Amino acid sequence: MKPVVAVLTLILLGACTEGVGYHVELEAPPTIAAEAESSDGQKLVLPLEVDQQAAEAFVRLGFGLNEGQRFQSTAFLTPFLGTTQAAPLIRLVKEYNEFNGERVAAAVEKLRGRISRLEFGREGSPVLYIELPHWTHQREEAETSVQGTRITDAENDRLVDELRQVFVGDLKADEFGVDGRRVRVWWD
């Protein structure tokens, strides 16, 4: 059965990338958002804007927020999102032990233009993965047609310290981990 699933997945991936007229081009140095050109010649920024209604339904399902719902997932992540896309999804989870969706969403909104992207979901309890940029043009909503300047490790460390203070100190996250330029924040 697994080989059949693998073949179907490859066919679907091929259909999603080649069949709809998008040609993805990555330029050096690689950026978080790649440019693509649609079949009508218009420039698109990847990852594409997430369908907010579908994302909301996904988070509601995952956290078991639908009235009368007898299903939830204890392990899921959204696709990569910008801060303005993620904040409304985070607000859906009003409270979960020390996690307060309104306060966490407000903190995420303050990161607009300072991070590259983030993911929200569950690893048993609420979790955020925050991607920090290596270059200024990798920040969300940054001008990507010109190469920005490199963000030093010292600048990155200051941002990580700020995130730790906000998410652990102010918002009572139970775990805060850093792996390169990826930050994991988790509430139990």
pLDDT digits (tens, 9 = 90+) for 8-30: 333 333 434 333 333 333 333 34
What is the value of pTM for the model shown? 0.76
pLDDT of residue 159: 98
> Which three-class secondary structure state does DSSP give residue 178?
strand
14 and 3 belong to one structural domain: yes
58 and 115 belong to one structural domain: yes
Q: What is the pLDDT of residues 132-168, one digit of tens each?
A: 999 999 999 888 888 899 999 999 999 999 999 999 9
Overall number of domains in the chain: 2
97 and 38 belong to one structural domain: no
4 and 78 belong to one structural domain: no
22 and 73 belong to one structural domain: no
User: How large is the C-alpha radius of gyration of the chain?
Assistant: 18
Closest-CA residue to 86 (of 49, 33, 32, 124): 49
62 and 43 belong to one structural domain: no
Interatomic CA distance for residues 165 and 92, integer angstroms: 24
- State mean pLDDT over 88-113: 97
pLDDT of residue 143: 84
pLDDT of residue 100: 98
DSSP 8-state symbol, 167: I
The boundaries of the domain holding residue 15 are: 1-48
135 and 166 belong to one structural domain: yes
Q: How confident is the model at residue 90 (pLDDT cuts 50, 70, 90)?
A: very high
22 and 56 belong to one structural domain: no
Q: How confident is the model at residue 46 (pLDDT cuts 50, 70, 90)?
A: very low
Interatomic CA distance for residues 13 and 83, integer angstroms: 27
Closest-CA residue to 78 (of 118, 132, 112, 124): 118
85 and 143 belong to one structural domain: yes
Q: Which residue has the tokens 């590259």?
A: 116
Interatomic CA distance for residues 144 and 131, integer angstroms: 17
43 and 72 belong to one structural domain: no
- HSE value, Cβ hemisphere, 13 Å, CA-based, for 71: 6
Q: How confident is the model at residue 43 (pLDDT cuts 50, 70, 90)?
A: low
> Which three-class secondary structure state does DSSP give residue 185?
strand
pLDDT of residue 50: 86
The two tokens of residue 157 are 């460390």
